[in-house]
């Protein structure tokens, strides 16, 4: 049947092709026309799915905390109904050198943006939430497109939880368990969008991107909310971490270092969560070990190696070292929870690998040694 259908289609194309065009050109034209129609339908489907999610988000917020029940805020309903200004404006772009850090970020030794911690230090100002948090933007979104809707939804969810804990307003958080589908879809949309942004050749350094990461971190570190979210979105978060690691290793454009540092900071912040830390350390150990083995093999047979991956691997080593150091410094966390098999694979024959690589790759050998020292100290403790 399939062969007959293909033959019939071929005859139809041959008989209907216009003069002056070959069968091949006409077939390519028809294929392009059909693909454009498919793309249009896909876009419409994504727009409708985003609209459905937007309505679910609005409904869930109303179930948890009805707009007009906000105490001491007669105009709360009006404020929440205001039209939101789209915050997705890029305040700066990558410098040509690829090394300059934009003023949008204020980093410490490993670049943890100070903006990420502002919300944690503003507990006393939570009463003024409706004045300092922008109105909820219920704009339609698509994967990798406008992230304002999931960011604002999750931001409001976090603030409602904080205000309800302080007794400022009444909120029924049991609805979160009943409608976890909406939260998981919002988190999934946020993670997909962040992945697209981080993977973009022209990495947008913007205050809004900082805000999106901050909301994600606050969400998974809020113990009361994470109980509802992590168990549903754990697999998606694991995929997000893997994607960030692969982006770090594979980025090869000239102006990539500022973007790679921003991705590294996000991984460090994710690694501060007790649940996500162990799997992230396991992933990093595996990637660093595999690259070290590949580099050793290339060195022994005098073969070419991936220079870009060699330049980028140092960021994974720095992330791994910091996470292991944090692991040993926090006495309330077990330091042997991450995958023992991967840890043993990493330490196996590591001295021999360092010895063979130390002449041609002294810096990488030094980083391997530093990671092994911290890993062994964690094991001893």
pLDDT digits (tens, 9 = 90+) for 336-366: 556 678 888 888 889 999 999 999 999 999 9
pTM above 0.75, yes or no: no
Residue 94 has pLDDT above 50, yes or no: no
Determine how many CB atoms are found less than 10 A away from the CB of residue 33.
10
- pLDDT at residue 325 in the model: 86
Q: Work out the mean pLDDT of the chain and round it to a whole number.
A: 75
**Tell me: the pLDDT tens digits for 176-221?**
777 777 888 888 889 998 888 888 877 666 777 888 888 888 888 8
Q: What is the DSSP string of 22-78?
A: -HHHHHHHHHHHHHHHHHHHHHHHHHHHHHHHHHHHHHHHHHHS-GGG-TT-TTHHH
- pLDDT at residue 42 in the model: 80
The answer to whether 95 touches 103, Cβ cutoff 8 Å, is: no
246: CB partners within 8 A, 6+ apart: none
Determine how many CB atoms are found less than 10 A away from the CB of residue 268.
18
Residues in the chain: 381
Calpha distance 13→116 (Å, rounded): 59
For residue 199, what are its two tokens? 């993977």
- pLDDT at residue 146 in the model: 65
- pLDDT at residue 338 in the model: 61
Query: Which residue is it, tokens 């990495």?
Result: 203
365: CB partners within 8 A, 6+ apart: 354, 357, 358
pLDDT-based confidence at 322, cuts 50/70/90? very high
- pLDDT at residue 360 in the model: 92
């Amino acid at each position: 049947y399939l062969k007959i259908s293909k033959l019939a289609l071929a005859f139809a194309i041959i008989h209907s092709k216009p003069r002056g065009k070959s069968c091949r050109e006409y077939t390519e034209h028809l294929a392009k026309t059909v693909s454009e129609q498919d793309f249009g339908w896909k876009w419409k489907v994504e727009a409708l799915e985003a609209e459905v999610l937007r309505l679910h988000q609005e409904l869930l917020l109303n179930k948890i905390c009805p707009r007009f029940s906000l105490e001491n805020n007669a105009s709360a309903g009006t404020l929440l109904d205001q039209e939101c200004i789209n915050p997705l404006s890029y305040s700066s772009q990558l410098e040509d050198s690829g090394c300059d850090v934009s003023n949008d970020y204020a980093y410490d030794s490993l670049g943890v943006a100070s903006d990420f911690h502002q919300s944690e230090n503003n507990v006393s100002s939570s009463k003024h939430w409706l004045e300092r948090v922008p109105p909820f933007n219920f704009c339609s979104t698509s994967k990798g497109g406008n992230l304002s809707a999931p960011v604002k939804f999750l931001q409001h969810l976090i603030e409602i939880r904080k205000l309800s804990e302080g007794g400022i307003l009444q909120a029924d958080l049991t609805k979160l368990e009943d409608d976890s589908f909406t939260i998981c879809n919002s988190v999934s949309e946020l993670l997909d969008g962040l992945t697209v942004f981080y993977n973009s050749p022209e990495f947008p350094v913007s205050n809004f991107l900082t805000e999106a990461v901050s909301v994600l971190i606050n969400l998974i570190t809020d113990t009361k909310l994470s109980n509802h979210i992590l168990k549903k979105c754990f697999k998606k978060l694991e995929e997000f971490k893997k994607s960030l690691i692969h982006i770090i290793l594979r980025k090869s454009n000239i102006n990539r270092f500022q973007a790679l540092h921003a991705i590294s900071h996000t991984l460090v912040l994710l690694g501060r969560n007790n649940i996500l830390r162990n799997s992230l350390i396991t992933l990093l150990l595996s990637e660093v070990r595999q690259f070290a083995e590949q580099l050793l093999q290339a060195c022994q047979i005098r073969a070419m190696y991936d220079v870009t991956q060699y330049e980028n691997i140092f960021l994974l080593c720095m992330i791994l070292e910091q996470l292991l150091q944090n692991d040993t410094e926090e006495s309330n966390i077990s330091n042997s929870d991450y995958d023992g098999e991967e840890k043993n694979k990493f330490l196996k024959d590591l001295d021999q690998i360092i010895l063979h690589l130390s002449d041609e790759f002294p810096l990488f050998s030094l980083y391997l040694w530093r990671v092994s020292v911290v890993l062994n100290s964690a094991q001893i403790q």
